[in-house]
A and B are shown apart, each in its own frame.
Chain A
Amino acid sequence: MRSPESPVLTIDGLIKDVGPLASLDGKMLRVVSDLSMFAEHGQITALLGANGAGKTTTLECAQGLQKRTGGRIGLLGEDPDAAGANLRSRVGVMLQDGGLPPSARPIPLLRHIAGMYQNPLPLDGLVERLGIDTFSRTGVRRLSGGQKQRLSLAAALIGNPEVLFLDEPSAGLDPQSRQIVFELIAELRDAGMGIILTTHLMDDAQRLADYVYIIDAGRNVAEGTVADLLSHGHEAMDGVTERTLFFDAPAGLDIAAAIGDELTITESRAGSYAIAGTLTPQHLAKLTAWWAEKGIMPASLRLEARSLEDVFLDISGRDIR
């Protein structure tokens, strides 16, 4: 495990039991077992895992919203279970379900929350930056999912925290909202904020995170930078890693005739091809020469290395839980 230079959050051997549950004959269910992690200032740390892996529970223990069963947690050096107003003023929280009163209007609500802090961020800048001015007269209950998420983010940021917790920040975001939110998160990281987020989307982690913990069944099963995780189990095969080439072209082509049969060639839909395996420049040269000879121009063409999703599925198994 790495050692943090400037930790905002340290979790050491976290255990959380819930229950007793009737479905388990009155026994307790261990939702987090022996989970350890760090998060630093100026970094985005992601907890990546399937639904029910224990990500939200871990976050809520770190925020002091749930009492842990065992282990140690330091949030800015303090125990979150004993947190006072001073610690809470340094920590911003965006909950998965928003936590905004349905009858409230965005601006009065943000102004109210801002009043809880000695020196909050200027409201206007935040409102404009997150595009809240475009729906400022709409009650919370009538907002779209993306609008609610942006308002929740503003509510978490208004106190200008040092640490920001985001539980599934991209849930319900349309592409525009996602762009706005992701740019802002990256900018806050660059300004030195320590950001801890959960996600079940590989794409989020790949785009945003400086450091990723993969959580499965309440444990951290792998950790590292995105680059570390992508090279997991792929130590140089003569310098070549596995790739997949996707392209769309007329249906029923005999690709093996052009490039041989050492690669896995599939036509998932008529005219939609994937060539997977240890692709070399020679394979590409043969393929494109064959296209030129036959007068084939693909409608689309995409080459992908191993994705974080592959890593995640390798580690946590391909079973659907």
Chain B
Amino acid sequence: MTSAIPVRSTPHAGPAPLMRRILLQGRYETLTMIRNGEQLILAVIMPLLALVGLTVTPLLDGLGANRVDIATPGVLALCAMSTAFTGQGIATGFDRRYGVLRFLSTTPLGRTGLIAGKIIAVLAVLVLQVLVIGAVAALLGWHPRPEGWLPGLGLLVLGAAAFTALGLLVAGTVRPEATLAITNLLWILLGALGGIVVPAERLPELAQNVVHFLPSGALGQSLRDAFLHGNVSLPYVLVLLLWTIVPGAAAVRWFKWN
């Protein structure tokens, strides 16, 4: 332990290129997410249970299509909420507690790169979720409308953006224990009653009127529209856009880095 550190005497070479920094951070965050057991349960196991549960029970009968065709789009929406809101929110909350956000923002990565890396990680995990859920749903007999895929994937990305903004807003403003409680509780509430896996018409009357304005209801209903009927309803797109812009702006304004 006496070897000299070869400190360079030549002029400083500077940071790695921006894209490389962001992609590196995206890869790092993706690997961290999929190596975390609790995150995997939330991101893959729970949505799979929901898919199988809705397919083997008569809960979705009488809605004009077979169970798996109604269930799968909602489960994909649930995946976006798991990863972008609960998973990413909790991870960011604890990174903030441990000073990881502050340390990384002093490296060439910076705050912008850090956020970009998180978005890449959310999208990467979402791709894996779509592959797993899509494959299992296909085995259960899922037949999505082919023309539904393009709007469906677009809506999924938009929904992930809204839930990422909400997750960052919570993670950046309250203690990590509170983030853990809030994001888990909302995952359960919105998952059960938010119009995400269970269509609005099967919810209590009170919830029916509200869910269309929630990010969960807008994403779940619009994905069912896309994959069942191949159409996109603009009101839902607007709702999701609002849920992206308002919490996003609030997070930019109120996010505390330490």
Contact of B15 among A85, A93, A121 (CB under 8 A): A85
Q: Flag the segment in A46-54, A111-119, A295-303 that touches B.
A: A111-119
Q: Does A122 contact B (CB under 8 A)?
A: yes
Q: Mark B200-238, 1 if CB is under 8 A from A, else 0.
A: 000000000000000000000000000000000000000
Q: Give A91-138 interface residues, CB cut-off 8 Å to B.
A: 91, 93, 95, 97-104, 112-113, 115-119, 121-122, 125-126, 128-131
Q: Mark B89-101, 1 if CB is under 8 A from A, else 0.
A: 0000011001110
Q: Give A175-222 interface residues, CB cut-off 8 Å to B.
A: 180, 184, 187-188, 191-193
User: Are B4 and A89 within 8 A (Cβ)?
Assistant: no
Q: Flag the segment in A155-163, A235-243, A273-281, A284-292 that touches B.
A: A155-163
User: Are A115 and B16 within 8 A (Cβ)?
Assistant: yes
The residues of B that contact A188 with a CB separation of less than 8 Å are 5, 7
Q: Does A170 contact B (CB under 8 A)?
A: no
Bound CA span A91–B108, Å: 9
User: Are A116 and B1 within 8 A (Cβ)?
Assistant: no
The residues of A that contact B108 with a CB separation of less than 8 Å are 85-86, 88-89, 116-117, 159
Q: Mark B25-41, 1 if CB is under 8 A from A, else 0.
A: 00010001001100000
Contact of B32 among A103, A115, A155, A184 (CB under 8 A): A103
Contact of A160 among B12, B32, B106 (CB under 8 A): B12
Instruction: Determine chain B's interface SS by DSSP, over half rule.
Output: loop
User: Are B104 and A99 within 8 A (Cβ)?
Assistant: yes
Q: Take A85-B15, A118-B13 as given contacts and tell me if A160 and B20 are in contact as well, using a CB distance cutoff of 8 Å.
A: no
Bound CA span A159–B109, Å: 12
The residues of A that contact B110 with a CB separation of less than 8 Å are 84-85, 88
Cβ of B178 to closest chain A Cβ, rounded Å: 18
Q: Take A85-B18, A102-B98 as given contacts and tell me if A93 and B5 are in contact as well, using a CB distance cutoff of 8 Å.
A: no
Q: Take A116-B109, A184-B5 as given contacts and tell me if A101 and B15 are in contact as well, using a CB distance cutoff of 8 Å.
A: no
Cβ of A168 to closest chain B Cβ, rounded Å: 13
Instruction: Determine chain A's interface SS by DSSP, over half rule.
Output: loop
User: Are B100 and A99 within 8 A (Cβ)?
Assistant: yes
Q: Take A85-B110, A100-B103 as given contacts and tell me if A112 and B5 are in contact as well, using a CB distance cutoff of 8 Å.
A: no
Q: Does B253 contact A (CB under 8 A)?
A: no
User: Are B13 and A112 within 8 A (Cβ)?
Assistant: no
Q: Which interface class (under 10, 10 to 19, 20 to 34, 35 or more) fits B? A: 35 or more
The residues of A that contact B98 with a CB separation of less than 8 Å are 97-102
The residues of B that contact A72 with a CB separation of less than 8 Å are none
Q: Does A29 contact B (CB under 8 A)?
A: no
User: Are B95 and A116 within 8 A (Cβ)?
Assistant: no
A161 — nearest CB in chain B belongs to which residue?
B12
User: Are B8 and A125 within 8 A (Cβ)?
Assistant: no
The residues of B that contact A85 with a CB separation of less than 8 Å are 14-15, 18, 21, 108-110, 113
User: Are B32 and A101 within 8 A (Cβ)?
Assistant: yes
User: Are A97 and B16 within 8 A (Cβ)?
Assistant: no
Q: Take A86-B14, A88-B108, A160-B7 as given contacts and tell me if A155 and B103 are in contact as well, using a CB distance cutoff of 8 Å.
A: yes
Cβ of B41 to closest chain A Cβ, rounded Å: 16
User: Are B99 and A98 within 8 A (Cβ)?
Assistant: yes
B112 — nearest CB in chain A belongs to which residue?
A85
User: Are B8 and A160 within 8 A (Cβ)?
Assistant: yes
Cβ of A151 to closest chain B Cβ, rounded Å: 11
User: Are B257 and A65 within 8 A (Cβ)?
Assistant: yes
Q: Take A100-B100, A118-B14 as given contacts and tell me if A193 and B7 are in contact as well, using a CB distance cutoff of 8 Å.
A: yes
The residues of A that contact B95 with a CB separation of less than 8 Å are 101
Q: Does B64 contact A (CB under 8 A)?
A: no
Bound CA span A93–B109, Å: 13
Q: Give B102-149 interface residues, CB cut-off 8 Å to A.
A: 102-110, 113
The residues of A that contact B94 with a CB separation of less than 8 Å are 102
> Ordered nearest first, which 10 A-B pairs have the shortest CB separation?
A99-B103, A119-B13, A99-B99, A89-B15, A118-B13, A93-B106, A85-B15, A85-B108, A191-B7, A97-B99
Residue ranges of A at the interface with B (Cβ–Cβ < 8 Å): 63-65, 84-86, 88-91, 93, 95, 97-104, 112-113, 115-119, 121-122, 125-126, 128-131, 155, 157, 159-160, 162, 180, 184, 187-188, 191-193
Extra 9 A-B pairs, beta carbons < 8 Å, given A99-B98, A99-B104, A121-B8: A85-B18, A95-B99, A99-B99, A115-B20, A117-B16, A118-B15, A121-B6, A125-B6, A191-B7
Q: List 5 A-B contacts (CB under 8 A).
A: A88-B110, A97-B99, A121-B7, A129-B1, A187-B5
